[in-house]
Amino acid sequence: MKKELFRFFKMNDVEYKENILLSSISPIRIGAKATAVTYPDNELKLALLISFLEKSKIKYKIAGRMSNLLPPDEKYEGAVIRTDRLSDYTINSYVLEVFCGMTLPHIARILQNAGLSGFEGLSGIPGSIGGAIVGNAGAFGRQISDLLLDVRVYDRSNGYFYSIKASDLNFGYRSSSIMHSGIVITSAHFNLLQSDPLSIKIEMDRCREIRKNTQPTDKPSLGSCFKRPCEDLAAAWLIDKCGLKGYSIGGAQISEKHAGFIVNNGGSTASDYIALSVYTAKKVYEKFEICLDREVEIM
Ligand SMILES: Cc1cc2nc3c(=O)[nH]c(=O)nc-3n(C[C@H](O)[C@H](O)[C@H](O)COP(=O)(O)OP(=O)(O)OC[C@H]3O[C@@H](n4cnc5c(N)ncnc54)[C@H](O)[C@@H]3O)c2cc1C
């Protein structure tokens, strides 16, 4: 598998790194090695790579910034396809076209300078455009689907590129029809509003300050581990009421600052993280008879 994979990378000029520790590229600093981590820099290379991996029956995972993905403790025998190099953008009047690998903080800064409003509340989410659309990421009362016009996708099932309107993506709370669909987002259009750079900056600073004061921004994590069970009930509140703040299994700990976050307090494994999330959900169920649904995806 290794030989043909590396030959493919070289022949098609696709950037890759061999035998990379996933913990070194994961925001939670967990994960064993992967055979390869690869960085295609245009959508044709991405499609070619996926088609090759499918035909060769080599395991792979599309990843943005892995800020919602828990890497495994055992070696990942396959390719992790990172979208970091797919990060061009153009702004035409109030419409932004952006490739899937651009991060939300980066695009928010660009839009702030351009005096275009919409991404302020999303500016602290450390994920890519692609990952954010798939999971309909949101914060401060705004979800990315609120701004989305359409996505351009590569459909692994038939090898075609085409566009899908946002209204056809069946967005819900932290969900979309793209999840588990075999479709890869390559770029997207967003509709923005004109505003002035200073008021956009003030709003972004306000959101950043709230995050800094309420979340463990100084510790490796994957953000909130669980979804809200319903609109006006936070998982963090339920976990806190179970007295679990600061509770640890191995190196994984329920943050003392925000009970919805599981942080890596040093040396956490994926098994620690999973065991702690299972234990937490069990405790919440015993006390409130509410089932918590994990937001973080296990790779
Ligand atoms: C400190 C911290 C704070 C966070 N705060 C928030 C928050 O306020 N709100 C929120 O919603 N989330 C939050 N998150 C979670 C996370 O940042 C979001 O879910 C983010 O949108 C994930 O983007 P990503 O690029 O990291 O996706 P990844 O974790 O890399 O991938 C997530 C899923 O999307 C798929 N995927 C990625 N790119 C593509 C693509 N181009 N096409 C098809 N599938 C793709 C992956 O295969 C995977 O299934 C936070 C995380 C951290 C670490």
Asked if the model's pLDDT at residue 125 lies above 90, the reply is: yes
pLDDT mean across residues, the chain: 96
Catalytic residue selected from 29, 152, 174, 228: 174
From ligand 1's centre to the CA of 257, what distance in Å? 22
Beta strands in 192-272 (DSSP E): 193-194, 221-224, 248-249, 252-254, 261-264
CA distance 10 to 61: 20
pLDDT score for 145: 98
- pLDDT of 10-69, one tens digit each? 999 999 999 999 999 999 999 999 999 999 999 999 999 999 999 999 999 999 999 999
CA distance 271 to 287: 24
Known catalytic membership, residue 295: yes
- Say if ligand 1 is within 6 A of residue 216 CB: no
Q: Which helix (H) or strand (E) holds 183?
A: strand 183-191
CA distance 98 to 226: 29
- Say if ligand 1 is within 6 A of residue 123 CB: no
Which residues on adjacent β-strands are paired with residue 193?
117
What single letter denotes the amino acid at residue 224? S
Q: What is the DSSP string of 32-71?
A: -EEEEEEE--SHHHHHHHHHHHHHTT--EEEESS-TTEE-
Pairing outcome for strands 33-39 and 76-82 = parallel
- pLDDT of 192-233, one tens digit each? 999 999 999 999 999 999 999 999 999 999 999 999 999 889
- Say if ligand 1 is within 6 A of residue 264 CB: no
Known catalytic membership, residue 181: no
- pLDDT of 224-269, one tens digit each? 999 999 988 999 999 999 999 999 999 999 999 999 999 999 999 9
Catalytic residue selected from 224, 255, 268, 277: 224
pLDDT score for 239: 98
Q: By alpha-carbon position, which residue is closest to atom 47 of ligand 1? A: 62
Known catalytic membership, residue 224: yes
- The CA-based dihedral angle spanning residues 149, 186, 220, 176, taken in that order and rounded to the nearest 10 degrees: 50
- pLDDT of 3-21, one tens digit each? 899 999 999 999 999 999 9
CA distance 151 to 184: 10
**Residue entry with tokens 């800064």:** 109
Q: Which domains does the chain have, with CATH numbers?
A: 2-82 (3.30.43.10), 89-198 (3.30.465.10), 216-298 (3.90.78.10)
CA distance 89 to 129: 11
From ligand 1's centre to the CA of 249, what distance in Å? 24
pLDDT over 90, % of the chain = 97
Based on its alpha-carbon atoms, the radius of gyration of the chain, rounded to whole angstroms, reads: 20
